[in-house]
Structure 1
Amino acid sequence: MFTESKFTLIVGAGPTGLTLARVLQRHGAPFRIIEQAPAPQTGSRGKGIQPRTQEVLDDLGLLPAFRDAGAPYPELLIHRPGGGTLAQRMDEQHEPTAAAPYPNMLMLPQWRTVELLAAGVPVEYGVGVTAITDGAVTLSTGETVTPRHVVGCDGGRSTVRKSLSVSFEGATAEEQLTIADVRIPGLSRDAWHIWPGDDGRSFRLGLCPMPGTDEFQLTAPPTGESIEDLVASAGLRVTHVGWTSHYRANMRMVSRYRAGNVFLAGDAAHVHSPAGGQGLNTGVQDAYNLGWKLAYGGDRLLDTYEAERLPVAAGVLGISTRLHRRAADAEEDAMRRDDPALKQLSLNYRGGPLSAEHRAAPGAVRAGDRAPGPILDLLRGPQFTLLAFHWTGDLPVSSPTQHVHRITDPLAAETYDVQEPTLFLVRPDNYIGCVTSDMDDVTRYVDALR
């Protein structure tokens, strides 16, 4: 039984909603997660897991399962119109470093991402929202509930967003695209196959092998041909066509993430072109940011969700839109994905309401940044973590809500760019909240969150 007004209602069980459920679950915060669809979503859909999202999955204890199910992005094998092939990469494979232990994008179909995130999460399928009025939520089952918070993770056509009358500003691309999951015998699975148009520059057909399956994700602009005929034009044969989508990319976002006790996250707040693999990852990180704040529950803290995430979504939307335009204009190297910003490791909340940098001369890593390796093992869990570099004075005793570590590893000090006694207070979402040389600053920071 759920006590009225004491739980969070998560609307939508895609990657964003499931990540939020996982975060609340580990905080011991009560929630219900509902999904209008009668069963988990199918289809490869968004297939890229960026390095920052891999760090989130590491923190949640899920990364080993994701790495077992997924694979690195393969080379592109371009089949030239005049014959012959050309191999190239979207981005070079990078070696792990102390600061970035997961430097490369991981590929796996979205249905598998949902499956892995949903394990152990009590999703109520076949249940949607029909109305939200004065804090009361009417469900499609006829039940009315009054949760403490509602989070709309219900996609680009979000019922929750529409109930708030929040505008969804942006544009819909003119270019259409077909995506489908297909089986093609005899086609090598060690490359992402690309067939350009007759001009050698435009895009005609792509077939990307989905790890852990016998399927390829087909992408193609509309040609008037059936999927079978399109594939046949490349000298191949389709034996099965599964999930299929014909769509125009939307590039839109909301002007606010919160209205009272109702929040928006993921595609309900921002939708992207698939170019650059940003949408799913940004949604997961919305949930990672919001989850611990919902668990703590203070209004001032919850206000920081919009203040931190809305600028991030705007920046990411700009990146994915530019990549979309490059592809639409058939620019040279339009498939390159070597911009470090795409990894989302540099996204930060510097200058935000929860970033307290007390040093007169901050180093390269400062309040508002993600906490880099090589000490991610110390950060796992729902607690705050106090990292004390070069510290000889007294420190508080570790507790369930705050772990305390003296850091003596020279590599860690080099990674955090500290030479003097310095305290880094890391938030539950593994962003650095406070940096100081005075323990009183840490105490005041924590007290202000209550």
Structure 2
Amino acid sequence: MNARYAVDVLICGAGAAGLTLAIDLARRGVRFRLIEKNHQPFHGSRGKGIQPRSQEIFEDLGVLDRLFAVGGVYPTERRYRDDGSYIDADSVEHTAATSSEPYTQPLMVPQFLTEQVLRERLLELGHRPAFGCELVGFEPDADGVSAQLMTDNGPQTLRARWLVGADGGRSFVRHALDIGFPGKTLGVRALVADVQLSGLCADYWHRFGEGDSQRQIMICPLARTGLFQIQAPVPLDADVDLSAEGLAAIVAQRTGRDDIQVHGVSWASAYSMNARLADRYRVGPAFLVGDAAHIHPPTGGQGLNTSVQDAYNLGWKLAAVAGGAPETLLDSYEEERRPVAASVLGLASKLLDNASRGDMRRGKEVFQLDIGYPKSSMTLTQTARDGRVCAGDRAPDARLRGACGASLRLFDLFQGSHWTLLNYGATPGAVSPRPGLQIHHVGPQGDVIDDLGQVQRAYALAAGDLVLVRPDGYIGAIVASDEIQRLEGYLAQAGLTAVMPE
């Protein structure tokens, strides 16, 4: 690490994206500072769905079981007709878990609890956000960023190698960098409120007036909190009373019932929906992640998940370059993540249109398991594999057995800050050990045994194939044993240089 900098990374914004990035940097030993201009953590549930791909990320970061402990499954929807009758239905397509996709259902965790779990994990790693610390100015140059901060103790200056703006849709970092944020306001305004409420069963997600923007209202129990979340479209130019009395009046008017009582408001907001995407994700030593780079309508539960995955993609690359990898590795962040956000914006907008017509169904398209980077410069090109898993795809999980007899998953081998090389019957030592790379020989004489054949089926491997999995769980390369030199070139590009024997 370079002594010219107080920290390697200054992260502006301690929401889900900033916290994810901080955890990833902390476990890699990268010096950083995480600042948040607000004096207290966010206490609402603007985002409450954790999609299967994000669940895999949170497993890697060591918090998934904790999130399951404070969250729950999405409840069955109870859709009310005007005469008071109702039907019960699931809006999320139920898909059975498999060995390659162990998580196939969204997990409901209110955002304030997700961020609380992430803060606790960060504290275990020896760090905490600096609340009440605002970035008020910065000057990027060829070697880093000089940042001006305002704290309760007065102004401070800080020199960092990189600055990451995780500071939301109104991002100060994005504005200061003069990065365009084109898109559109979608002509939809909505309220969202976390409330104490009686009169409705907490086992269902209650929907009234579907398809009617003047009368539609959704009241969802927030798993394990004792709270309900109210969501409803509201007129574009009307004042909205977000007090308990005001929300109770809206509920009564839209449901036609007087037995539903709002007793208190934990958090509430009225907002206009937008779909916007930053023109750039990077200017020199400064990067954007999360809502600073893209904002979506809430339909489909994509915003928080896309933000977390931005941070997860950037974290290992910053750490690698800080450790000596080529600077060009950082170019792949925007190259990989910006197209994903563009696709997600289209999906969320489509789902919003469907919802306005009363169609609330969600399928696998929202799970984010199919996201990949096949055209990335950090994907080693290969001949077509006829629909089989390829370089750039998410690395599937699989069950296998250690040589000692213990049951394992591939995700166990991947977990951590390292790269993973699966040697499927190639000559031992074909790729020499090096820092940051864990090599596993898969086979009857290897350290792991594919006794159920799940690894072979998931990856469609032939004897002698090697699979390189990136630290973020995507396949960097699949090569045959006669392509070792191509693999060595890729490893050098990633900063994984072989160590000369002593």
TM-score computed with the length of structure 1 as normaliser? 0.95
Percent identity reads 40
Unaligned runs of 5+ in 1: none
Find the counterpart in structure 2 of residue 288 from structure 1. Answer: 312
Q: Is 2:173 the partner of 1:160?
A: yes
Contact preservation (8 Å) 2:190, 2:271: yes
- Comparing 386-395 with 213-222, greater Cα deviation is found at 386-395
How far off is 1:97 after superposition? 0.3
1:336 corresponds to which letter in structure 2? R
Q: How many pairs does the alignment contain?
A: 444
How far apart, CA to CA, are the structure 2 residues paired with 1:201 and 1:220? 8
SS of equivalent to 1:356 = coil
Give CA-to-partner distance per residue, 1:275-321, whole Å, 9 cap, x none: 01111000000000000000011320011101111111111111111
Cα 1:188/1:32, change in 2 over 3 Å: same
Contact preservation (8 Å) 1:109, 1:210: yes
Find the counterpart in structure 1 of residue 477 from structure 2. Answer: 434
Q: Is 2:475 the partner of 1:449?
A: no
Find the counterpart in structure 2 of residue 114 from structure 1. Answer: 115
Give CA-to-partner distance per residue, 1:60-118, whole Å, 9 cap, x none: 11111111111111111011111211111112322210121001100010000110111
Larger radius of gyration: 2
Q: Is 2:426 the partner of 1:406?
A: no
Find the counterpart in structure 2 of residue 138 from structure 1. Answer: 148
The equivalences for 1:175-186 within 5 A come to 175-186=188-199
Find the counterpart in structure 1 of residue 461 from structure 2. Answer: 418
Cα 1:250/1:4, change in 2 over 3 Å: farther
SS of equivalent to 1:238 = strand
Give CA-to-partner distance per residue, 1:153-185, whole Å, 9 cap, x none: 000000000010001110112221010011112
Find the counterpart in structure 1 of residue 402 from structure 2. Answer: none
Find the counterpart in structure 1 of residue 228 from structure 2. Answer: 216
Find the counterpart in structure 1 of residue 204 from structure 2. Answer: 191
The equivalences for 1:89-100 within 5 A come to 89-100=90-101
Cα 1:39/1:201, change in 2 over 3 Å: closer
Cα 1:7/1:394, change in 2 over 3 Å: closer
Give CA-to-partner distance per residue, 1:306-348, whole Å, 9 cap, x none: 1111111111111111111222xx3242x1111x221111111
How far off is 1:426 after superposition? 0.6
Q: Is 2:392 the partner of 1:368?
A: yes
- Comparing 354-363 with 275-284, greater Cα deviation is found at 354-363
* Alignment RMSD: 1.8
How far apart, CA to CA, are the structure 2 residues paired with 1:361 and 1:370? 15
How far apart, CA to CA, are the structure 2 residues paired with 1:15 and 1:4? 29
2:269 corresponds to which letter in structure 1? S
How far off is 1:359 after superposition? 4.1
How far apart, CA to CA, are the structure 1 residues paired with 2:439 and 2:81? 58
How far apart, CA to CA, are the structure 2 residues paired with 1:325 and 1:231? 23
Contact preservation (8 Å) 1:16, 1:286: yes
How far apart, CA to CA, are the structure 2 residues paired with 1:420 and 1:363? 19
Find the counterpart in structure 1 of residue 23 from structure 2. Answer: 22
Q: Is 2:282 the partner of 1:269?
A: no
SS of equivalent to 1:221 = strand
Q: Is 2:378 the partner of 1:378?
A: no
Give CA-to-partner distance per residue, 1:139-160, whole Å, 9 cap, x none: 1231111200000000000000
How far apart, CA to CA, are the structure 2 residues paired with 1:201 and 1:35? 36
Find the counterpart in structure 2 of residue 232 from structure 1. Answer: 252
Find the counterpart in structure 2 of residue 260 from structure 1. Answer: 284
Unaligned runs of 5+ in 2: 399-409, 444-449, 496-502
How far off is 1:126 after superposition? 0.4
2:328 to 297, 300, 316: 300
Find the counterpart in structure 2 of residue 65 from structure 1. Answer: 66
2:203 corresponds to which letter in structure 1? D
Contact preservation (8 Å) 1:201, 1:332: no
How far apart, CA to CA, are the structure 1 residues paired with 2:101 and 2:348? 22
Give CA-to-partner distance per residue, 1:221-259, whole Å, 9 cap, x none: 227672111223433111111201000111101011000
Find the counterpart in structure 1 of residue 403 from structure 2. Answer: none
1:126 corresponds to which letter in structure 2? G
- Comparing 92-101 with 262-271, greater Cα deviation is found at 92-101
Contact preservation (8 Å) 1:4, 1:145: no
Cα 1:9/1:200, change in 2 over 3 Å: closer
Q: Is 2:130 the partner of 1:124?
A: yes
- Comparing 148-157 with 289-298, greater Cα deviation is found at 289-298
Cα 1:222/1:261, change in 2 over 3 Å: same
Q: Is 2:8 the partner of 1:7?
A: yes
Cα 1:246/1:360, change in 2 over 3 Å: closer
SS of equivalent to 2:160 = coil
How far apart, CA to CA, are the structure 2 residues paired with 1:427 and 1:399? 15
How far off is 1:448 after superposition? 1.7
- Comparing 238-247 with 153-162, greater Cα deviation is found at 238-247
1:292 corresponds to which letter in structure 2? W
How far off is 1:203 after superposition? 5.4
SS of equivalent to 1:280 = helix
The equivalences for 1:298-377 within 5 A come to 298-327=326-355, 330-333=356-359, 335-338=360-363, 340-359=364-383, 361=385, 364-374=388-398, 375-377=410-412
1:406 corresponds to which letter in structure 2? H
Q: Is 2:81 the partner of 1:84?
A: no
How far apart, CA to CA, are the structure 2 residues paired with 1:395 and 1:326? 53
- Comparing 122-131 with 387-396, greater Cα deviation is found at 387-396
1:439 corresponds to which letter in structure 2? I
